[in-house]
């Protein structure tokens, strides 16, 4: 059975960086599940049809990291039929040997509730806004407003709201370096695996 690591948390908390590092460290497959929603939103047109027709080229679009794509992803992620269309993709991905790391907002609660390791990565709103502003070359105050709007929408949606799984380990990266955050995540994986 593949070893699954579920990493959830709000935007710019560091979950993607940690997920990529864990996948590299343990030789697992990695999926940024937010890309599925970003690509669906970026395709335009009917979101349900877009979700059903996603392909690898859609996930490689260079504009998927933009703030606009993130906002579109958050809006269409609230549509139950879109979520349903993308869940099967995520389940197939998670079933790959020797293991998989999936990061998103509902991995530990909905997509892979039986994941061996569940991390919920957080950081203060101000730290997340500064990170995203630096990444996008944007205004930190504008990013702060956008992140708070998105957090509210993601945590209040009826289907698969953003929240930690009951058995998730919360990792606050507000004051941690990337290396320290990754080291804590690696230590949790090693603990669970008994290494």
Name the binding residues for ATP. 9-17
Cβ atoms of residues 188 and 117 within 8 Å:
yes
In a 13 Å sphere around the CA of 86, the CA atoms on its Cβ side amount to 34
Listed in sequence order, the DSSP H helices in the chain are 15-26, 33-43, 47-52, 56-59, 67-76, 80-94, 125-136, 140-156, 178-193
* Neighbour tally for 29: CB within 10 Å: 16
Rounded distance, CA 68 to CA 65, Å?
A: 8
Q: Residues, the chain, total?
A: 195
Whole-number Å distance between alpha carbons of 10 and 182: 17
Closest CA to 1 of 95, 138, 71: 95
Q: For residue 55, what are the contacts with CB-CB under 8 A and spacing of at least 6?
A: none
Q: Which residues are annotated as a binding site?
A: 9-17
């Amino acid at each position: 059975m593949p070893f699954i690591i579920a990493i959830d948390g709000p935007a710019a908390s560091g979950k993607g960086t940690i997920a990529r590092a864990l996948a590299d460290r343990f030789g697992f497959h990695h999926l940024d599940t937010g890309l599925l929603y970003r690509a669906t939103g970026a395709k335009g047109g009917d979101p349900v049809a877009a979700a059903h027709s996603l392909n690898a080229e859609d996930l490689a679009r260079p504009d998927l990291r933009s703030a606009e794509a993130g906002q579109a992803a958050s809006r269409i992620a609230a549509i139950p039929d879109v979520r349903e269309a993308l869940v099967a993709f995520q389940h197939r991905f998670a079933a790959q040997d020797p293991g998989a790391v999936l990061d998103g907002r509902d991995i530990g609660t909905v997509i892979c509730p039986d994941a061996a390791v569940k991390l919920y990565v957080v950081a203060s709103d101000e730290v997340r806004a500064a990170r995203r502003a630096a990444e996008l070359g944007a205004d930190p105050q504008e990013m702060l407003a956008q992140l708070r709007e998105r957090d509210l929408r993601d945590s209040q949606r009826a289907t698969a709201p953003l929240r930690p799984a009951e058995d998730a380990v919360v990792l606050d990266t507000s004051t941690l370096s990337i290396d320290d955050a990754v080291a804590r995540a690696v230590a949790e994986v090693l603990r669970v695996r008994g290494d």
